[in-house]
């Protein structure tokens, strides 16, 4: 039996907006990806780094005709705004924080296919806004639809938050409940934050505050492979360390997905290879499909290969674990 598409309420996600003619060049010098390559309707993942190359924040930058919008975890919006203002000197850039007015739904399914796109179209049509925009296909590409019933623009952004490509629907407050009702009537199931968290752990997707912190280098978390880093753009804060790792060396630890026997271990549980401490768990869940415990954690580079057998130490004793490539990799 095919499960209905899932509707997650992400209201409160951070939204920091840059306007002004220098907005792209200004942000270009502060993040890891190439902002100048963006055109209206496109976007990219990016990170802010310390001068030593450690993470300060992760985000997605969405490019529109007259502004850039930085989408981030709620707790990062103030931090990113402060960071931008710190570097703003004589640039023609206006910075705004629209987090309080940022209403986001995420629509996804159990597997890629037409069911979610069909429900997305039917949900928008159910609001009486006429013909919906063409469905964005690449990750982070987006489209907008406006109408009298909308009270403003509704933006659809292609995004993967659970291991399966889905869509963020970004909307004004005036149509928040109307959109929720339209998608539920079209056949979506309202899902919880706990369900989304479980799905993203199963998919091996790192999250700020868990796998992503100020103690982490981008390459340790696999952010280069996830499209956060441009190796061809010019200088930005922390770029020297990122380039040195790519050219001359490697990181000493890597983020891995673990499959375990028994219950999901507590975050912070130590990971061992035989009697050698190899790392620690950052997130854990019990997989919704298989029922198997799944965890994310950092381990020493030489213990990060898929198939490596490890032990996770808990109060109930050592638990066998195996490094496993995520389904989405």
**Per-residue model confidence as pLDDT tens digits over 20-72:** 999 999 999 999 999 999 999 999 999 999 999 999 999 999 999 999 999 99
Lowest mean pLDDT among 105-114, 181-190, 254-263: 105-114
Which domains does the chain carry? 1-251 (3.30.1360.120), 252-329 (2.40.30.110)
Please tell me the predicted confidence (pLDDT) of residue 131: 64
Report in angstroms the alpha-carbon separations of 44 from 41, 56, 87, 113: 11, 17, 21, 23
As a whole number, the mean pLDDT across the chain is: 91
In this structure, the chain runs to a length of 329
* 117-149 pLDDT per residue, tens: 888 888 888 777 666 667 888 889 988 876 544
Tokens of 100: 């309080």
Q: Give the pLDDT of residue 60.
A: 98
- Which segment, 20-34, 101-115, 136-150, 239-253, is predicted with the most confidence on average? 20-34
- Looking at the chain, the whole-number percentage of residues with pLDDT higher than 70 is 93
Mean predicted confidence (pLDDT) in 69-93? 96
Concatenating the DSSP letter of every residue in 65-87 gives SS-EEEEE-GGGHHHHHHHHHHH
Q: What is the mean pLDDT of residues 147-152?
A: 54
Distance CA 325, CA 308 (A): 11
Tell me what the mean pLDDT of segment 94-100 comes to. Answer: 96
């Amino acid at each position: 039996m095919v499960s209905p598409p899932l509707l997650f309420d992400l209201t409160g996600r951070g939204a920091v907006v840059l306007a002004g003619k220098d907005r792209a060049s200004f942000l270009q010098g502060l993040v890891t990806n190439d902002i100048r390559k963006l055109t209206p309707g496109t976007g990219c993942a990016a990170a802010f780094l310390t001068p030593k190359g450690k993470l300060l924040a992760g985000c997605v930058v969405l490019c529109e005709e007259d502004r850039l919008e930085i989408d981030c975890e709620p707790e990062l919006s103030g931090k990113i705004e402060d960071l931008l203002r710190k570097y703003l000197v004589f640039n023609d850039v206006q910075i705004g924080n629209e987090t309080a007015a940022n209403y986001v739904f995420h629509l996804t399914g159990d597997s890629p296919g037409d069911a979610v796109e069909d429900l997305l179209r039917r949900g928008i049509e159910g609001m009486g806004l006429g013909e919906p925009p063409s469905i964005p296909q690449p990750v982070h590409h987006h489209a907008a639809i406006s109408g009298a019933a909308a009270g403003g623009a509704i933006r659809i952004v292609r995004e993967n938050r659970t291991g399966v490509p889905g869509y963020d629907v970004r909307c004004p407050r005036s149509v928040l409940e109307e959109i929720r009702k339209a998608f539920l009537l079209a056949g979506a199931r309202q899902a919880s934050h706990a369900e989304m968290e479980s799905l993203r752990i199963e998919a091996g997707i790192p999250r700020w505050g868990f796998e992503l912190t100020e103690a982490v280098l981008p390459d340790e978390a696999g952010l280069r492979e996830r499209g956060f880093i441009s190796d061809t753009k010019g200088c930005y804060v922390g770029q020297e360390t990122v380039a040195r790792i790519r050219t001359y060396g490697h990181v000493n630890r890597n983020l891995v997905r673990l499959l375990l026997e028994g219950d999901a271990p507590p975050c912070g549980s130590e990971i061992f290879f035989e009697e050698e401490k190899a790392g620690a768990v950052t997130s854990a869940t019990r997989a919704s499909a298989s029922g198997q415990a799944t965890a994310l954690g950092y381990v020493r580079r030489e213990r990060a290969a898929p198939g490596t057998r490890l032990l996770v130490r808990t109060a109930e004793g050592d638990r066998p674990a195996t490094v496993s490539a995520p389904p989405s990799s």
